C-alpha cells in the first residue's frame, strides 16, 4: 500500500468525484438528502476522513507470481477441527509457495445455494470458524472474498424486517407490480421472477433474479449502498485484498428494460472502486459477470471499474477444443480479445464451484457446437442447467461436471488420455495473459460427486465434493494415485510459471497460426527480455511440425521449460505427443521435467 496520504485538496477531490458518481446513479431518484451529504456519509463509513490514500492510476497490483486457488471454506474437513484451520493446513502443507492467493467462497451464515444466499454479512459461519481464522489465512495468502451484492437470504434480519415493515432492511428490497411485463428481463434461471410475500404493509411481490430464497436489493435506496460500503470496510479490516462482486451485472433494475448491465450498475462499481482504492490502493475488484463476451469486457470501463474480469468464455472454448481436437473457435476468440491495459487484467479459470457457463460461448460457438459439447459432457456424467430465453424457450445455461471427468475423452467417447488432456488444459490456462484461478478440485483431480448430487438434487453439487482430510492425505501419499499425480503435475507447472517474467498477467500476447490441431501463442515480458512460445497438441495423435513455423531467433538458445530440453535449431521439426505442451523460452528461469 502507498504510504502517501491524500492532502486536504486531494480529499476534496475525492468528495467531488464521489458526488459525481452519486449524481449519475441517482439522477432519476428523489433522495432524502443531497449527494454531497451522501458523499460525506460514505467517506465517514470507509474511514477516509481519518486516513485517505491517493491511488496511482493504471498501476498493476499483480505479477506472474499470483495464482488464486478457488475453494469453499469446508472443501476439506477433519474431525474436531474447524474447516478453515484444515484448509490453511492443507495449503501450507501441500501448496506452499506455488499458490499465493486463495478465494474462499462465501464463508458467512447462509440458507441456500452453498453460501450465496447470505443471512449475515458481518459474521463467519460458525461451522467453518471465525474471523480470527480468516485473518490468519489472510496473513499467509492474499485473500479473495465474495461481496454478494445483488441479493441476500430471505431468512436474513433485513428481509424479516421487510416482512414486518419496520427496522433496518424494511425498505432494502426491490418490488414490482404482480402484472408487470418482464418479457425483456434477462435471467439465468427459469423460476418465477417475482415472489409473493405477505408483509405488514400488505402483499408485496419481491424481485428474485436467482431463486425465491435470494431476494434482490433495491439500490435506488442509498441506505442499501451505505450498508454495503460498511460491509466492504469490515472485510478490508479482516484482511480481504480481492473483492469478487458476485452477480453484479443484475444489480440495478429498471422496469421496461433488460435489468442487466444497466449504466447505473457500471457507475455503482466505479463508485465502490473509488472508495476502495482510496482506502487500500493495492486492493482489487473482480466482477463476476457470466454473460456474453462482448458485454463482459465492458466491466473494465476505462480502467476505472473492475481491475479484473472473469474470462468466462475460456472454459467452454478450451474444453470444446480438447474434446473436438480443433482449436478453431478458441483461436478465433483469443485473436479477438483486446490486451488488458495496465491497471486491468483477465482472471482466467477453466473450473469453478459453478459449472461450465454457456452464455459466454454464445456468438463464439454455434448452436451445433454447443449442443455437441452438452451431449459429450452428459456422456461423461455431467448435468445441464437451463435458462429461459426472451421467447420463454429453455436453453442450456451451464454444464455441471468435474473438470477431470469432463476431459476423460473426446466427442468420440472416453479414452486413455484423460490425464494428459487434463494437464494440457491447465498448461494452456496457466500461460495465458491474466491471473490464473485454479479450483481446489482441479488441483486434486476430484471426480463427479454423484452421492452429493443425489442428496441435494442440485446439479452444481456434482462438482462441490467435500474431502475428508485424512482420506485425502492417504491418497496424496500414494504416488500411483491419480490425485497425487494431478497435484504434483499442476504444482510443477505453477512452480515454473511463477518464475517467468513473460507470464506476467500484462505481458504481451500474440496468437500463433499453427493449424487447427496445434494451439499456440507467444508471450513477451514487459522488459522484452524473455519470450515464451506456448504450443500445445490439442489432438489425440502425435504431431510433427516445422520449427521455423515459430520464427525463433536463430542466434539465441531456446529451451522447453517443461522438460528442460534444449531446442536443437539444426533440426527441421519438433514432435509433440498427444496433449503435450511446450513452453519454449530464450531464458532459463527455472525448468522442470514434467513429462
365-370: list long-range contacts, CB under 8 Å, 24+ apart: 365/316, 365/317, 365/320, 365/329, 369/320, 369/324, 369/329, 370/316, 370/396
Between CA 207 and CA 488 the distance in angstroms is 46
The torsion defined by the Cα of 210, 407, 484 and 462, in degrees rounded to 10, comes to: 30
- Output b/e per residue, 88-99; b: 16+ Cβ within 10 A: bebbeebbeebb
Q: Where are the alpha helices (DSSP H) in 121-262?
A: 131-140, 157-164, 222-237
Element (H, E) at 508: strand 508-511
Catalytically annotated residue among 74, 113, 246, 449: 246
* φ and ψ at residue 148, rounded to 5 degrees: -80, 90
E strands in 4-62: none
Known active-site residue 92: no
Which among 65, 190, 29 has a CA at the least distance from the CA of 495? 65
Give me the residue label for grid cell 454455434: 366
Q: Where are the alpha helices (DSSP H) in 280-417?
A: 293-297, 314-324, 328-336, 367-379, 403-406
Contact assessment for residue 170 and residue 266, using Cβ atoms and an 8 Å cutoff? no
Contact assessment for residue 68 and residue 102, using Cβ atoms and an 8 Å cutoff? yes
Between CA 129 and CA 387 the distance in angstroms is 35
Which among 287, 283, 314 has a CA at the least distance from the CA of 298? 287
Three-state DSSP at 496 gives helix
Residue numbers annotated as active site:
246
Amino acid at each position: 500500500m502507498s504510504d502517501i496520504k491524500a492532502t486536504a485538496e486531494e480529499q476534496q477531490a475525492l468528495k467531488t468525484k464521489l458526488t459525481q458518481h452519486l449524481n449519475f446513479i441517482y439522477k432519476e431518484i428523489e433522495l432524502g438528502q443531497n449527494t454531497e451529504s451522501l458523499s460525506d456519509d460514505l467517506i465517514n463509513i470507509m474511514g477516509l476522513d481519518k486516513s485517505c490514500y491517493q491511488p496511482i492510476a493504471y498501476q498493476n497490483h499483480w505479477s506472474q507470481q499470483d495464482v488464486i486457488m478457488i475453494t469453499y471454506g469446508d472443501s476439506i474437513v477433519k474431525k474436531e477441527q474447524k474447516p478453515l484451520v484444515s484448509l490453511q493446513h492443507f495449503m501450507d502443507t501441500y501448496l506452499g509457495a506455488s499458490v499465493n492467493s486463495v478465494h474462499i467462497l462465501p464463508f458467512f451464515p447462509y440458507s441456500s445455494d452453498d453460501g450465496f444466499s447470505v443471512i449475515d454479512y458481518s459474521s463467519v459461519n460458525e461451522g467453518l470458524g471465525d474471523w480470527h481464522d480468516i485473518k490468519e489465512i489472510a496473513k499467509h495468502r492474499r485473500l479473495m472474498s465474495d461481496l454478494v451484492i445483488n441479493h441476500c437470504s430471505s431468512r436474513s434480519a433485513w428481509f424479516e424486517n421487510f416482512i414486518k415493515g419496520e427496522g433496518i432492511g424494511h425498505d432494502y428490497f426491490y418490488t414490482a407490480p404482480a402484472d408487470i411485463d418482464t418479457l425483456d428481463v434477462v435471467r439465468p434461471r427459469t423460476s418465477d421472477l417475482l415472489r409473493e410475500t405477505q408483509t405488514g404493509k400488505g402483499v408485496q411481490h419481491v424481485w428474485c433474479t436467482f431463486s425465491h430464497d435470494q431476494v434482490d436489493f433495491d439500490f435506488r435506496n442509498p441506505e442499501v449502498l451505505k450498508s454495503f460500503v460498511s460491509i466492504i470496510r469490515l472485510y478490508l479490516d479482516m484482511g480481504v485484498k480481492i473483492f469478487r462482486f458476485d452477480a453484479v451485472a443484475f444489480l440495478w433494475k429498471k422496469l421496461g428494460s433488460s435489468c442487466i448491465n444497466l449504466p447505473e450498475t457500471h457507475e455503482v462499481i466505479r463508485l465502490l472502486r473509488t472508495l476502495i482504492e482510496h482506502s487500500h490502493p493495492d486492493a482489487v475488484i473482480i466482477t463476476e459477470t457470466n454473460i456474453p463476451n462482448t458485454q463482459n469486457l465492458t466491466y473494465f470501463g476505462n480502467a476505472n471499474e473492475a481491475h479484473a474480469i472473469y474470462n468466462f468464455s475460456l472454459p467452454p472454448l478450451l474444453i470444446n477444443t480438447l474434446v473436438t481436437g480443433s482449436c478453431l473457435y478458441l483461436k478465433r476468440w483469443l485473436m479477438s480479445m483486446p490486451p488488458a491495459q495496465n491497471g486491468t487484467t483477465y482472471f482466467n479459470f477453466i473450473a469453478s464451484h459453478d459449472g461450465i457457463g454457456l452464455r459466454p460461448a454464445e456468438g463464439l460457438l454455434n448452436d451445433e457446437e454447443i449442443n455437441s459439447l452438452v451431449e459429450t459432457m452428459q456422456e461423461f456424467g455431467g448435468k445441464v442447467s437451463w435458462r429461459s430465453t426472451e421467447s420463454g424457450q429453455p436453453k442450456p445455461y451451464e454444464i455441471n461436471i468435474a473438470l477431470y471427468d469432463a476431459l476423460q475423452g473426446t466427442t468420440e467417447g472416453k479414452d486413455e488420455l484423460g490425464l494428459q488432456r487434463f494437464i494440457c488444459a491447465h498448461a494452456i490456462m496457466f500461460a495465458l495473459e491474466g491471473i490464473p484461478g485454479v479450483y481446489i478440485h482441479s488441483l486434486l483431480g476430484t471426480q463427479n460427486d454423484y452421492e452429493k448430487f443425489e442428496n441435494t438434487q442440485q446439479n452444481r453439487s456434482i462438482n462441490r465434493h467435500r474431502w475428508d482430510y485424512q482420506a485425502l492425505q492417504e491418497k496424496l501419499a500414494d504416488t500411483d494415485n491419480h490425485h497425487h499425480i494431478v497435484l504434483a503435475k499442476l504444482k510443477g507447472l505453477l512452480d515454473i510459471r511463477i518464475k517467468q517474467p513473460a507470464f506476467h498477467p500484462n505481458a504481451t500476447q500474440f496468437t500463433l497460426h499453427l493449424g487447427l490441431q496445434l494451439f499456440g501463442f507467444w508471450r513477451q515480458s514487459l522488459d522484452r527480455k524473455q519470450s515464451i512460445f506456448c504450443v500445445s497438441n490439442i489432438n489425440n495423435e502425435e504431431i510433427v511440425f516445422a520449427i521455423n513455423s515459430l520464427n525463433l531467433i536463430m542466434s539465441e538458445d531456446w529451451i522447453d521449460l517443461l522438460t528442460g530440453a534444449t531446442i536443437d535449431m539444426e533440426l527441421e521439426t519438433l514432435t509433440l505427443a498427444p496433449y503435450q505442451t511446450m513452453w519454449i523460452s530464450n531464458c532459463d528461469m527455472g525448468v522442470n521435467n514434467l513429462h
